[in-house]
Amino acid sequence: MYDVVEESARESTYECLQCGKIVERTTHPGACSCGGSFQNRAMSLE
């Protein structure tokens, strides 16, 4: 048997759509300190 690695523990890069701040988190960071919202950089803006 093989051990399965938990994929949800991987960090994703998020960018604030208002000020451009970039953070890496294992979960969505919520709101930025500037009041803007974060978007996962792996997701398309379209």
Give the pLDDT confidence of 2-41 residue by residue, as tens digits.
Answer: 665 555 568 999 999 999 999 999 999 999 999 999 999 9
Do 36 and 16 contact (CB within 8 A), yes or no? yes
Contact (Cβ atoms closer than 8 angstroms) between residue 11 and residue 27? no
Whole-model pTM? Answer: 0.73
Give CA torsion, residues 23, 28, 11, 18, to 10 deg: -30
Residues 35, 18 contacting (CB under 8 angstroms): yes
Going by C-beta distance under 8 Å and a sequence separation of 6 or more, which residues neighbour residue 27?
A: none
More confident residue, 46 or 36: 36
